[in-house]
Structure 1
Amino acid sequence: MSQAEALDEVVLYEVRDGIALVTMHRPEYHNAQNSKMTYALDVAFRRAVDDDAVKVIVLRGAGKHFSAGHDIGTPGRDVEQSFERKHLWYDHVNKPGGEFLYAREQEVYLGMCRRWREMPKPTIAMVQGACIAGGLMLAWVCDLIVASEDAYFRDPVVRMGIPGVEYFAHVHELNPRIAKEFLFLGEAMPAERARQMGMVNKVVPRDVLEDVTLDLARRIAQMPRLGLALAKQAVNNAEDLMGKRATMDMVFGLHHFAHAHNELVSGDRLGGYDAKAMAASQRKGQS
């Protein structure tokens, strides 16, 4: 196909020369991820995996930013809605207390991200502007990250009393002390520092970001499909032997203890924060 096809309007799908371009398409909300987008991403990734003509998958965000994270404040927030689930977790809707988010996030956050990390085809995140919290999760499941010079990475959820996003890869993406700094301060990490830490493969000017990313994808696409799949599986399995999966399971429990604590103390699972309050707190911290 030569032109992008809309998947429920929030994700675009296009194939060029054996490369699947999966585009988050909520630019008016900086590609904040509601469940509608998450499930549409899963459909797009499944389509790319099933298409033998596709050798490499590129994930990108429309507009100024890659992704501002989970949707905690747009008119399209759909946390209370049911969707056709991809795992054997039960529906979260109408469940009491901490069970509500625990069931939901096993499906749409931890479960989906692990599902995408294990896709047999190479994936590249093309990151511009903000890559925050849930946006980190989407970039981190990809095998490679190419970032523009204006890109930055941030996980600010400690401000909510939460130890980090659900797909907790921080200590595998960064040196442990750098991971602590990243979490304790919740400040933006510029693309170039992320490259120095080994989290990003390339940093390029914004106006050539797409060209550089697609050139990288084309060169990878020249390799045999099975060789790529086996190489990816080998590295992923090695990461898991080093504790990546076990770390995520442990921190996911701490994450949901924090949600439950917030609800008990303040009556709000996010400790009283929405998107505007988080942005305001960041501005205050920088002043």
Structure 2
Amino acid sequence: MPAAHDHSAERPQAQDGPVRYHRQGPVAIVTMNRPEYRNAQNSAMTYALDRAFYRAADDDEVKVVVLAGAGEHFSAGHDIGTPERDAHLPFDRRAGLWWDHSDKAGAESRYARESEVYLGMCRRWRELPKPVIASVQGACVAGGLMLAWVCDLIVASEDAFFADPVVRMGIPGVEYFAHPWVMPPRVAKEFLYTGDRMTARRAHEVGMVNRVVPRAELTERTMELADRIAGMPRMGLALTKRAVNQAEDLQGLHSGMDSVFGLHHLAHAHNAETARDPLGGMDVRAMKKGSA
């Protein structure tokens, strides 16, 4: 459910750039800050998130990181339709050694950009050697899933919902393809085949979400969990996180993502040949119309 361009004067407006950062005791709080577009992720936001995670990693006073979204929604996905969409612009690359995409064409451009800002960034954030908790309300869709899934724990409000509708574009899921690891494979297939929304309660049932709490208590309950974890030894937390991540990789997470990333770009190339664009001719309106 990528964000649409809505001219309503009642929309909340972002302050202080696409990402806010502040520390509350031993907890760094990183907040996506494009509420007027349901925190749709343009490249400016992605690189701002990267800087915030580096800042938290470098701060010895920070023991735990919380990732949140300003406004009504955690994140409605990658930006495919706002006035600040910046996929064509160059940025200083941080997550890989692929060339600048902005002066290239076709798959040479798409593969380089998505290797950097999608798969590359998410993989590196997953390895942040401090626990990261996603605090999720409202929409957590497509690219929003990727951000929640790189976190170690997910606390969701009762009104949160999760969806990956990109199969409607003819694409086999988002770039950070963690689906069969964060939920059982048959549940993952239904999730992808239908593109339907998964409620917070259902996400908790299948093990994708750690806790479901009332919306009014989301921040407080997330911070309670963060503060509790912050009382553990820093090195113990880092090694434990590494141990569990290694176990997931031994179960095929890393190599599986590599293989599906190739299929993802095969789908983009197919769309570019057979439809009007690499997204299969789908825009914000079409994607929202198909949402259940």
So what's the TM-score if we normalise by structure 1?
0.95
Structure 1 match to 2:160 = 151
SS of equivalent to 1:184: helix
1:93 to 64, 81, 102: 102
SS of equivalent to 1:250: helix
Of 80-89 and 148-157, more deviation after overlay is shown by 80-89
1:64 to 61, 72, 77: 72
Question: Is 2:12 aligned against 1:15?
Answer: no
Structure 2 match to 1:201 = 210
List aligned pairs for 1:212-231, cutoff 5 A.
212-231=221-240
1:44 to 48, 52, 58: 52
Q: How far apart are residue 281 of structure 1 and its match? A: 2.3
- Structure 1: gaps of 5 or more residues: 1-5
SS of equivalent to 1:98: helix
Q: How far apart are residue 8 of structure 1 and its match? A: 6.5
1:170 to 157, 179, 186: 179
List aligned pairs for 1:242-257, cutoff 5 A.
242-257=251-266
Query: Distance in 1 between the 2:107 and 2:198 partners?
Result: 32
Question: Is 2:100 aligned against 1:77?
Answer: no
Q: How far apart are residue 267 of structure 1 and its match? A: 2.9
Query: Distance in 2 between the 1:191 and 1:13 partners?
Result: 26
Query: Distance in 2 between the 1:281 and 1:221 partners?
Result: 42
Change (3 A) 1:201 1:171: same
Q: Deviations over 1:157-203 (max 9, x none)?
A: 00000000000000000100000000000000000000000000000
Query: Distance in 1 between the 2:219 and 2:282 partners?
Result: 34
Q: Which amino acid aligns with 1:46?
A: Y
Q: Which amino acid aligns with 1:102?
A: Y
SS of equivalent to 1:145: strand
SS of equivalent to 1:108: helix
Structure 1 match to 2:33 = 25
Is the 2:130–2:234 Cα contact (8 Å) retained in structure 1? Answer: yes
- Structure 2: gaps of 5 or more residues: 1-13
Q: Which amino acid aligns with 2:170?
A: G
Query: Distance in 1 between the 2:84 and 2:255 partners?
Result: 33
Structure 2 match to 1:238 = 247
Kindly indicate whether structure 1 or structure 2 has the higher relative contact order, using CA contacts under 8 Å at least 6 residues apart. 2
Q: Deviations over 1:203-226 (max 9, x none)?
A: 000000000000000000000000
Q: Which amino acid aligns with 1:274?
A: D
Is the 1:8–1:40 Cα contact (8 Å) retained in structure 2? Answer: no
Is the 1:117–1:141 Cα contact (8 Å) retained in structure 2? Answer: yes
So what's the TM-score if we normalise by structure 2?
0.94
